[in-house]
Amino acid sequence: MSGRPREFDIDTALDQAVQIFWRQGYEGTAISDLAETLGINRPSLYAAFGNKEALFRKALDRYTATVTSYVQEAFKEPTARGVAERLMLGAADATTREGCPQGCMGVQGALAASVESDRIRYLLSDWRSAAQADIQGRFERARSEGDLPPEVDPADLAAYVTTVMYGIAVRAASGATNAELRRTATLAAQSLPW
Amino acid sequence: MSGRPREFDIDTALDQAVQIFWRQGYEGTAISDLAETLGINRPSLYAAFGNKEALFRKALDRYTATVTSYVQEAFKEPTARGVAERLMLGAADATTREGCPQGCMGVQGALAASVESDRIRYLLSDWRSAAQADIQGRFERARSEGDLPPEVDPADLAAYVTTVMYGIAVRAASGATNAELRRTATLAAQSLPW
DNA sequence: ACCTTTATTTACTCGTCGTTACATTACCCC
DNA sequence: GGGGTAATGTAACGACGAGTAAATAAAGGT
């Protein structure tokens, strides 16, 4: 037990891996990109994380825990309206952080991919579906609390809000500014169907 | 002049190239994928289209002329409201055609990419910006025709509608059905800000 | 001081990538 | 039925992809 100590911090490395996968996507990222940026050799990466797919999964977990934590925060808003607004504004902020890539890793990580990367495409597809399901859960709670009028379907509402969030991510990747995206988020929040 | 005749139809080939780029994205597609599907050899592809980037550009043109022609159609609607609704419903339909990949080639073709594919990323970014600008132009016309209340900004409206369209494309890539996406489009159309 | 353990380094495998040279084949024109 | 022309098929190019084998280096325990 306990041999030669690792010369790099594994969480720092993961943070940098997040940045690169976020910017270049799964297929657009080579292990050598990561190794170069981290200043370590490829075998050290393999020793620490397994393989490319395992590293991406860990990077996605870290991304979820940090960048998209605003989703859980938004759920604490007392009203469904407040939740929806904070979700969409949060998406605008998270996709236009300075010093970070524009857009959302969960969206642009592997929207389309070759057959060899299908597993990652599905991983991200599930990631997005899980987010939508979480949001739907929050709106179902709102309905049971009488916070949502009965004619508003929580599933429809969650679908709508996530659609706007994903659209914001795409526009961020197209170079839209934070101000522009926040305007869209506000407009969408003001014109909610109740 | 006029030597040996080409053994494949160049437009059919382009159609098939659209399908593959649409499904796998730019970086996820290898020239051998295309050659295999078209049943021709790689050098024939190069002779006919130049290189991978040129082929993608031509495929995108074809995609635009066919799959996204609903955008120009929607502009013919008499009211801004009708235009917006048809755009979003059209996006739902175009991203869930049967026999075609789920999603939008202009969105998932290269949202994130390696540095070597930056040119294609920008190409698609410009493609999306051009679409948004077109839509904004239509709403500006609507405003000058008195069809839009003065408090509604055509730029904001176009931004909002394209956001929903892109979000629909992402959800289609996540496996959402046509019916689900049309519900979202209808909901978004009903809750337009005027 | 030695042994075990684990990380690092260097060098390599093997497949695939985009792209191209070269020889061959099929058509039109005269 | 030869030339000219432009497509095809075969085979290769160099670069780079993910992943690994083997030797070396640095720590802890005894």
Contact list in B for residue A169 (CB cut-off 8 A) is 170
Q: How far is the CA of A5 from the C1' of C4 (A)?
A: 14
pLDDT at A193: 86
Instruction: Give per-residue pLDDT as tens, A5-47.
Output: 999 999 999 999 999 999 999 999 999 999 999 999 999 999 9
Q: Is B86 helix (H, G, I), strand (E, B) or coil?
A: helix
pLDDT at B194: 87
- The yes/no answer on whether domain A68-191 falls in CATH 1.10.357.10 is yes
DSSP, res A148: S
The H-assigned helical ranges of B28-177 are 31-38, 42-49, 52-66, 70-74, 80-94, 105-108, 118-144, 154-173
Contact check, Cβ <8 Å, B191/A193: yes
Looking at domain B10-61, its CATH architecture is Orthogonal Bundle (1.10)
B173: left (phi over 0), alpha (psi -120 to 50) or beta: alpha
In chain B, the residue whose alpha carbon lies closest to the alpha carbon of A111 is: B108
Residue closest to sugar C1' of D25 by CA: A4
Give 3-state DSSP helix, strand, coil % of chain B, rounded to 5.
70, 0, 30
Percent over 90 (pLDDT), chain A: 97
Q: How far is A110 from chain B (nearest CA, A)?
A: 8
Q: How far is C-alpha A79 from the geometric centre of its chain's CA atoms?
A: 23
pLDDT at B1: 67
Interface of A with B in 134-163 (CB under 8 A): 156, 159-160, 162-163
Among A29, A108, A156, beta carbon nearest to B114: A29
Instruction: Give per-residue pLDDT as tens, A111-130.
Output: 999 999 999 999 999 999 99
Contact criterion met (CB below 8 Å) for A8 and A38: yes
In degrees rounded to 5, what are phi and psi of residue A159? -60, -45
Cα–Cα distance measured from residue A64 to residue A62, given in angstroms and rounded to the nearest whole number: 5
User: Which amino acid belongs to residue A47?
Assistant: A
Cα–Cα distance measured from residue B46 to residue B27, given in angstroms and rounded to the nearest whole number: 17
- Find, among B30, B26, B188, the residue nearest to B107 by Cα: B26
pLDDT at B93: 98
Interface size, chain A vs chain B, as Cβ–Cβ contacts under 8 Å? 147
Domains A10-61 and A68-191 share a fold: no
User: Which amino acid belongs to residue B132?
Assistant: Q
Cα–Cα distance measured from residue A42 to residue A35, given in angstroms and rounded to the nearest whole number: 6
**Domain layout of chain B by residue ranges:** 10-61, 68-191
Instruction: Give per-residue pLDDT as tens, B6-46.
Output: 999 999 999 999 999 999 999 999 999 999 999 999 999 99
Mean pLDDT of A130-148: 97
List the structure tokens of A3: 């041999």
In chain A, the residue whose alpha carbon lies closest to the alpha carbon of B106 is: A170
Q: Provide the mean pLDDT of chain A.
A: 97
Q: How far is the CA of B104 from the C1' of C30 (A)?
A: 52
Asked whether the predicted pLDDT for residue A147 surpasses 90, the reply is yes
pLDDT in tens, chain B (194 residues): 688 999 999 999 999 999 999 999 999 999 999 999 999 999 999 999 999 999 999 999 999 999 999 999 999 999 999 999 999 999 999 999 999 999 999 999 999 999 999 999 999 999 999 999 999 999 999 999 999 999 999 999 999 999 999 999 999 999 999 999 999 999 999 989 88
Contact criterion met (CB below 8 Å) for A88 and A94: no
Kindly give, in sequence order, each residue whose CB lies less than 8 Å from that of residue B75, ignoring residues fewer than 6 positions away.
B83, B134, B138
List the structure tokens of A34: 């990561």
List the structure tokens of B14: 């382009």
Contact criterion met (CB below 8 Å) for A143 and A150: yes
pLDDT at B193: 86
Tokens 């170079």: give the residue: A175
In chain B, the residue whose alpha carbon lies closest to the alpha carbon of A156 is: B184
Asked whether the predicted pLDDT for residue A1 surpasses 80, the reply is no
Q: Does B27 touch chain A (CB under 8 A)?
A: yes
Contact check, Cβ <8 Å, B128/A170: yes
